């Protein structure tokens, strides 16, 4: 497949698709969701064969995929997301002020890279694709080689939706290919205006470098690396240790740790309560039976990373599950001191799998030093009672600078798809901390603001016309109104 042909077709389709009305575009997203639902059983069967994920997880992920398509359909039907702003003319002012009207418009064709660990929700018809289509952008999907048949089946459902909805033929296209060549060609093509990626730090940085080296640089919205630090405060450990151990053992081992929000770093102050919690957590993790990982490459990478982590000086294994069979993960908890953690940069690296490192701090100063040494994160979690949160406000304030989502007394592995969600964070969690890849805010990655000056009403987009035919919320002369 010639990438130039693919991207030229995407650009031609974009010229038509960006003019599709919000209501028709919303109906198109709903039709995609319906077509995916019709082949649910086939999709689950294919994904099970390719990813080792259980049917219940895959069914849940398909529901998440269709639900977020509906969520974006609802968003664009309501319409206020375009952020229409109007400053009316003031001809009597000195100098005379022109009529100025601004809104968000789609930037152009988008390239989406499917994720290995979410064959539906973050892949072919996942959040990146749904948000781009909602924005009015055409999409070229680079299917992930870990689940090629699943990706193709989802694309075929999308093709049926394109036909049924009367959308331009090449509104969505699907390409495959091993290695980096296809991905690089898609990113550097002049017609590409943005990139969505969920995957490794190495992969995301490579795409970012390709995009920056172009004659016309483009944004890459990559979600890459996070160890999601959890701070366990003293009173919570003293009063809730058993419950917390069960909760966080479930979070560490959920899906065999193959979530970007897996709590890979646990932090607490040296105490008998922390020792007790570590023992309970280690036992709970050890009780989890090993399960197969997504594919051989991820399993081998986890095995090597786990061995490397446990070989580090002053890193001690607390407990682990039974020895794994072929392609199974090996859940484990290890511990070290804050002094060792601060001196060894390897301990700050993400280990993708069911592994967590407990860092024991001597005092508040060490705890603050550990937090301040961390890179950007998707999440950080506060585990504390009301007494803890009142006493440790300064430490909690530091936690709040680290991540896109700050959590109180919940494990980080659940990511709700809604308007308020932020699934993003400072580098290297993502390449642009201003945006989210989950929830309705994800649409803002694929648009640009345009200001229309002194346009007559009949030349303006509906969102900016005087009569407000779409009935959306707008800011007019600094007042929000419908």
Residues labelled catalytic: 223, 260
Opening angle at CA 382, ends 380 and 386, nearest 5: 160
Residues 6+ apart with CB under 8 A from 107: 137, 193, 194, 446, 447, 448
Helix residue spans in 254-392 (DSSP H): 272-286, 296-310, 338-343, 364-372, 386-391
Sign of the alpha-carbon torsion through 440, 441, 446, 447: positive
Q: Give the single-character DSSP code of 324.
A: P
Q: Are strands 377-383 and 403-408 parallel, antiparallel or unpaired?
A: parallel
Residue whose C-alpha is closest to residue 173's, from 395, 354, 13, 408: 13
C-alpha 159/C-alpha 176 separation (Å) is: 16
C-alpha 54/C-alpha 36 separation (Å) is: 19
β-bridge partners, 267: 231, 359
Residue whose C-alpha is closest to residue 285's, from 323, 248, 258: 248
| Coil, helix or strand at residue 279 | helix
């Amino acid at each position: 497949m010639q990438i130039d042909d693919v991207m030229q077709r995407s650009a031609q389709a974009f010229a038509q698709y960006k003019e599709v009305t919000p209501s028709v575009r919303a109906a198109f997203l709903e039709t995609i969701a319906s077509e995916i639902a019709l082949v649910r059983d086939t999709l689950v069967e294919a994904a099970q064969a390719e990813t080792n994920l259980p049917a219940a997880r895959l069914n849940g992920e398909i529901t998440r995929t269709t639900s977020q398509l509906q969520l974006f359909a609802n968003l664009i039907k309501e319409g206020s997301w375009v952020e229409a702003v109007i400053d009316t003319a003031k001809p009597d002012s000195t100098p005379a002020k022109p009529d100025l009207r601004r809104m968000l418009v789609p930037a152009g064709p988008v390239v989406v890279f499917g994720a290995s660990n979410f064959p539906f929700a973050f892949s072919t018809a996942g959040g990146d694709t749904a948000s781009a289509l909602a924005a009015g952008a055409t999409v070229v999907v680079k299917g992930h080689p870990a689940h090629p048949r699943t990706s193709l089946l989802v694309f075929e459902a999308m093709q049926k939706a394109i036909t049924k909805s009367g959308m331009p033929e090449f509104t969505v296209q699907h390409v495959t290919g091993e290695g980096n060549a296809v991905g690089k060609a898609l990113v550097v093509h002049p017609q590409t205006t943005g990139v969505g990626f969920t995957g490794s730090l190495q992969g995301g940085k490579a795409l970012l470098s390709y995009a920056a080296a172009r004659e016309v640089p483009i944004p890459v919205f990559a979600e890459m690396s996070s160890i999601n630090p959890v701070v366990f405060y003293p009173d919570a450990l003293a009063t809730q240790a058993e419950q917390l151990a069960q909760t966080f053992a479930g979070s560490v081992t959920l899906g065999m740790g193959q979530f970007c929000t897996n709590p890979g770093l646990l932090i607490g102050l040296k105490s008998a309560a922390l020792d007790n919690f570590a023992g309970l957590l280690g036992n709970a993790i050890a009780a989890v039976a090993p399960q197969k990982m997504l594919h051989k490459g991820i399993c081998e990478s986890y095995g090597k990373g786990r061995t490397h982590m446990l070989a580090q000086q002053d890193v001690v294994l607390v407990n682990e599950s039974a020895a794994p069979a072929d392609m199974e993960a090996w859940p484990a908890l290890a511990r070290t001191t804050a002094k060792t953690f601060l001196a060894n940069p390897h301990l700050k690296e993400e280990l993708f799998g069911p592994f967590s490192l407990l860092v024991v701090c001597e005092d508040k100063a060490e705890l603050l030093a550990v937090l301040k040494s961390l890179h950007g994160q998707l999440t950080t979690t506060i585990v504390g009672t009301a007494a803890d949160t009142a006493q440790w406000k300064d430490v909690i304030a530091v936690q709040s600078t680290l991540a896109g989502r700050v959590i109180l007394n919940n494990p980080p592995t659940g990511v709700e798809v809604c308007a308020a969600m932020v699934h993003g964070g400072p580098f290297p969690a993502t390449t642009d901390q201003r945006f989210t890849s989950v929830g309705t805010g994800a649409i803002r990655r694929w648009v640009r603001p345009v200001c229309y000056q002194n346009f007559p009403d009949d030349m303006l987009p509906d969102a900016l016309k005087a009569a407000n035919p779409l009935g959306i919320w707008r800011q007019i002369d600094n007042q929000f109104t419908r």
